[in-house]
Amino acid sequence: MSTSNTTAAGAQSTARAPAGRVRRMSRRDKWILGFMVGVPTLIQLVLVWIPTLLSAALSFTRWNGLSLADIKGAGLENYRFIANDYPPFWPAVQHNVLWLVFLSLIATPLGLLLAILLDQNIRGTRIYQSIFFTPVMLSLALIGVIWQLFYNRDSGLLNFLLGTAGTPQAVDWFGDSSVNIWAALVAATWRHAGYVMILYLAGLKGVDPTLREAAQIDGANATQTFFRVIFPAMRPVNVIVIVITVIESLRAFDIVYVINRGTNGLELISALVIQNLVGEGQVIGVGSALAVILLVISLVPITFYLSRAFGKDKEA
Amino acid sequence: MSIIKPAPAAPTDTGNTAAAGQRTGTGGRSRGPARKHFGIHIFLTVMAAMWLVPLGWTVFTSLRPKADTDKYGYFSLGGSFNFDNFVEAWTRGGFAQYAWNSALITIPSVILILFLASMMAFAVSRVSWKFNVTLLIMFTAGNLLPPQVLAAPLFQMFKQLELPYSVSDSGNLLNTYISVIAVDTAFQIGFVTFVLSNYMKALSSELTEAALVDGAGIWRQYWEIILPLCRPALAAMGTLEVIFIYNDFFWPLLFIQSGDRLPLTTAVNNLQGQFLSDYNLIAAGAMITAIPALIIYLLLQRHFVAGLTLGSSKG
């Protein structure tokens, strides 16, 4: 790489001649670069980060959402109200935790198991993959509707298969508040496991085959080879899967909203945020405080992921 | 991926599926005797059958006329099968309008996302300047936030921003496609920027340096050299984003109040209200909403899967 001569190519240089590594941009190029960075950054700031900060600010106010002049400071009152006097809050927290535990202990391991099985050269692996992957293409809202048809008290297939259809024992799986969270989790697993499967299938293909051979030569059995060699070698995929699992359980919203707007056994923090923001008697302050609680919890997996994804960059 | 022919005698030698199960972890990848795979096949077949049940039941219900299910019951094979429910749901439910709304939201959003994110990715990966890593971190983090965190301020910002009634009949940005397109775009550029910047980083730096010697400016390096090389990544991201935005339920739910402006995915919320307990019509409506995603899956599966795994290749 040639370096520019000291007199000519300064920052002002509009010459098209190639300059050195440092001074290689003409003024025009700087404007263009400013545009390329500026427009996306401005959009990102105005529509993502400033609203996030405003959410935090609104959580310390009392506001009915009508006129900006009506915003009144409220200190920590909204948070106190949520913790002490807002009955759906603690059930919602429990349900979010349950969502996370269920996805982590059932849906994600199931996806990993499917990936391991399908990674062996078995007959028809593509067909199996396509079947398990199909729900990933569907929106969670649509999944709610599809499972509603399956779970219905009178016309749903599940009650028929259990032999309870048309009898008083028939269960309304999405309507009965003692079971509907589990029914919703099964529906969410239907999609999540396929997603995890496809990520791990790619991860397994990326593992150096000599690692596996070396482990077997050393006398490791299949289980040992997997847990001590293959699984650790898929670290980048593991990080993604952990992050996706945690974030999906915090973002869970569509499916419960389609079923009953997140009430009656299906309370989730995300749904409570929206219940407080729309409809009559808007309580923007309470909704925002719930949003901030959701945000603070989300920062844990987000920070974890960013430190993994960018930590190495900074050191290098 | 090649398919191994199992030894012919194997399936009878069921012997012990337990042993097969134990060895599933790795086993000989290239040997693959069918005896070992027998247990796996049973497990996978059972799982696959269970996986197909909800969608299969929806298809089954959607193809039967209501009169037949009333007569024979939902759990019967009697009566005829046809597409009448699809036709009726399509016309009565106003699906043509919803489908058009989905297109109006999805197509501009995806074009904007690819354009803006590729510019940003180019700037942070091919040009070195002070804040490029910081900005990339900010972009990536933005995509991971739960959308509900931004809901109240965005709703109020759009409500307070007054527009002439000739532009928007609500007098502000609420109830417009622009609001949904803008937020979808802002929310998704973070993810696409992250993936594309990783892709661009992997391209040789000599490519643009040679162009630089020829006097190519930044824009030409981006538009004529780097972007064409990113075609596979752009195809993958484009496919993925079409599905993501088509499947987005939340932003239209928040911003759009008129039922006739909703896209298909959000309109799903109203199916039960529209068709009451006519489950055959609800099933047909659900299938209509699933069809665009399934068509994209059939045609562009490779790109979609590539998009998902590209996003996870680093971490």
Q: Is A40 in contact with B187 (CB distance < 8 Å)? A: no
State whether the Cα torsion A123-A127-A130-A135 is positive or negative. negative
What number is the average pLDDT over the span B186-201? Answer: 91
Is A311's pLDDT higher than 50? Answer: yes
Q: What is the mean pLDDT of chain A?
A: 84
| Phi–psi pair at B163, nearest 5 degrees | -125, 150
Q: Is B135 in contact with B193 (CB distance < 8 Å)? A: no
What number is the average pLDDT over the span B98-122? Answer: 94
- CB crowding A100-124: b at 16 or more within 10 Å, else e: bebbeeebbebbbbbbbbbbbbbee
User: How high is the ipTM of this complex?
Assistant: 0.84
Please tell me the predicted confidence (pLDDT) of residue B36: 65
- Min CA distance, B152 vs chain A (Å)? 6
- Min CA distance, A214 vs chain B (Å)? 13
Among chain A residues, the shortest Cα distance to B137 is held by A306
Please tell me the predicted confidence (pLDDT) of residue A279: 63
Which residues have CB under 8 Å from A57's CB, separation 6+?
Answer: none
- Long-range pairs for B101-108 at CB < 8 Å and ≥24 separation? B101/B177, B101/B261, B101/B262, B101/B263, B101/B264, B102/B246, B102/B263, B102/B264, B102/B265, B102/B292, B104/B177, B105/B177, B105/B180, B105/B181, B105/B184, B105/B245, B105/B252, B105/B263, B106/B242, B106/B245, B106/B246, B106/B263, B108/B181
Q: Is B48 in contact with B277 (CB distance < 8 Å)? A: no
Single out the residue of B145, B149, B254, B147 nearest to residue A293, CA to CA: B149
Q: Encode pLDDT of B157-169 as tens digits.
A: 898 888 888 777 8
Radius of gyration of chain A from Cα atoms? 26
Contact B218 A33 (CB under 8 A): yes
Interface of A with B in 195-234 (CB under 8 A): 195, 198-199, 202-203, 209, 212, 216, 221-223, 225-226, 230
Please report, rounded to a whole number, the percentage of residues in chain A having pLDDT higher than 90.
Answer: 39
Is B26's pLDDT higher than 80? Answer: no
Contact B315 A198 (CB under 8 A): no
Amino acid making up residue B74: Y
H helix runs in chain A, sequence order: 27-44, 50-58, 77-85, 89-102, 108-119, 125-133, 140-151, 157-161, 180-205, 209-217, 222-224, 231-233, 235-251, 254-260, 269-277, 284-315
Q: Encode pLDDT of A137-179 as tens digits.
A: 999 999 999 998 888 887 788 888 888 777 777 788 888 888 8
Q: Encode pLDDT of A169-214 as tens digits.
A: 778 888 888 888 999 999 999 999 999 999 999 888 888 888 888 8
Contacts of B122 in chain A (CB under 8 A): 36
Please tell me the predicted confidence (pLDDT) of residue B304: 85
Angle (CA) B240 B241 B247, round 5°: 95
Please report, rounded to a whole number, the percentage of residues in chain B having pLDDT higher than 90.
Answer: 33
- CA dist B247 and B304 (Å) reads 14
Q: Is B195 in contact with B233 (CB distance < 8 Å)? A: yes
Is B282's pLDDT higher than 60? Answer: yes
- CA dist B111 and A287 (Å) reads 33
Amino acid making up residue A272: L
- CA dist A267 and A153 (Å) reads 21
Is B250's pLDDT higher than 90? Answer: yes
- CA dist A87 and A107 (Å) reads 29
Which residues have CB under 8 Å from B41's CB, separation 6+?
Answer: A122, A123
Interface of A with B in 58-77 (CB under 8 A): 58, 65, 68
Is B21's pLDDT higher than 70? Answer: no
Please tell me the predicted confidence (pLDDT) of residue B312: 65
